[in-house]
Structures are given as C-alpha cells and as structure tokens.
Structure 1
Amino acid sequence: MDAVADLCCDRTSRRGAVVVERRFLTLADVGEVLNISSSQTYALVRSGELPAIQVGGRGQWRVETRVLEDYITRAYEKTASGLRNDDAGSPPA
C-alpha cells in the first residue's frame, strides 16, 4: 500500500519534510497503484465496485484515497476467502 501513500502525499526536502496529503486520486493514479489499464480502472468505477465521483465541468473522475485503500483491503479479503473455499486446494492455473 506504499504506492497509494506515495501518490497521495507530496513530499518536500529532507530538512523540513512537509507532507501534504491529497484526498483524491485521478483514475490514472488509481490504475498506476493497481497496475491495471485505464479501461480496467474505468470499468471498476462504472460497475460500482470502486466508488468514485465526477468533478468539474468536464466530469473528470476522482477516487478518494481512503476509498481506494478500502477497495484494496476488500480485494485481499475476497482473494483469501476464495483460496480458503477452493475445494481442490491447489492454486489457480
């Protein structure tokens, strides 16, 4: 989850390390964190799986940093649950 922290925080010099946290990420930022394409990111938003808002006159999409963290946590839980429920007991091919 360091990737989310890196994108949401603007860091300055080592001497006076001022950290400004960004509340919202662009879909490009989200795609970078999840290592997926922009179309996959948009599909997650359109399906409602990843909540987002539209802002500005052009309706640009933004995802709240906290929401992305929650999505990642849910994805880990879903994956773990799927592995526990795997009757074969072997990793997927």
Structure 2
Amino acid sequence: MAPRFLQLADVCEILNISSAQAYALVRSGELPAIKIGGRGQWRVEATELEEFIQRKYVETRDLVRSGGDDIFE
C-alpha cells in the first residue's frame, strides 16, 4: 500500500524539481500541504500531488493550444 502522505523530498523526486521549488509550491498554496510534528515537517497528500500534476497537464495543454510565447521556456 502506498503511503497517504509524502515528504517534500519525495515530491522533489517525483516531480524532478529542487527542494527550493517544492517549498515555493507549498508556500504559494499551489501545492496543498500540511505541517506535522514538533519540528513542523511538511507533508503532501499523495492525492493532492496527483491533482496538482493533472492541473499542470491542463494548464500546459491550454498554453500550447493558445500558442503562448512561453511554451518552450
């Protein structure tokens, strides 16, 4: 059974992004997360990560269809 919650390091690995990018996504609210424990470790629910990925697919498809200038940036 897959874990319900992922550490930010797991999110970084799954999305192939840096920890700074993951923290920025969480801080901005773009990727919902919760803080757990006395040290306030961030956790992302696996379903939230999957929904985030699906939103990005929709955004990218819409960008490509619109011929946006930043498609290849």
- State how far apart, in whole Å, the 1-side matches of 2:56 and 2:23 are: 17
Task: Measure how far apart 1:31 and its partner are.
Answer: 0.5
> Across the two proteins, how many residue pairs are aligned to each other?
72
Q: CA RMSD in A?
A: 1.5
Q: Which residue of 2 aligns with 1:55?
A: 36
Runs of 4+ in 1 over 2 A off after TM superposition: none
- Which protein has greater RCO, CA pairs closer than 8 Å, 6+ apart? 2
User: Alignment identity in percent?
Assistant: 58
The amino acid of 1:80's aligned partner reads: R
Work out which of the residue numbers 15, 30, 33 in structure 2 matches 1:34.
Answer: 15
Q: Which residue of 2 aligns with 1:67?
A: 48
Work out which of the residue numbers 16, 23, 26 in structure 1 matches 2:4.
Answer: 23
Q: Which consecutive residues of structure 1, in runs of 5 or more, have no partner in the other structure?
A: 1-19
> Which structure: larger Rg?
1
Task: Measure how far apart 1:68 and its partner are.
Answer: 0.2
Q: Secondary structure at the match of 2:44?
A: strand
- State how far apart, in whole Å, the 2-side matches of 1:29 and 1:35 are: 9
Q: Which consecutive residues of structure 2, in runs of 5 or more, have no partner in the other structure?
A: none
Work out which of the residue numbers 57, 65, 70 in structure 2 matches 1:76.
Answer: 57
Q: Secondary structure at the match of 1:61?
A: strand
Whether 1:45 and 2:34 are equivalent positions in the alignment is: no
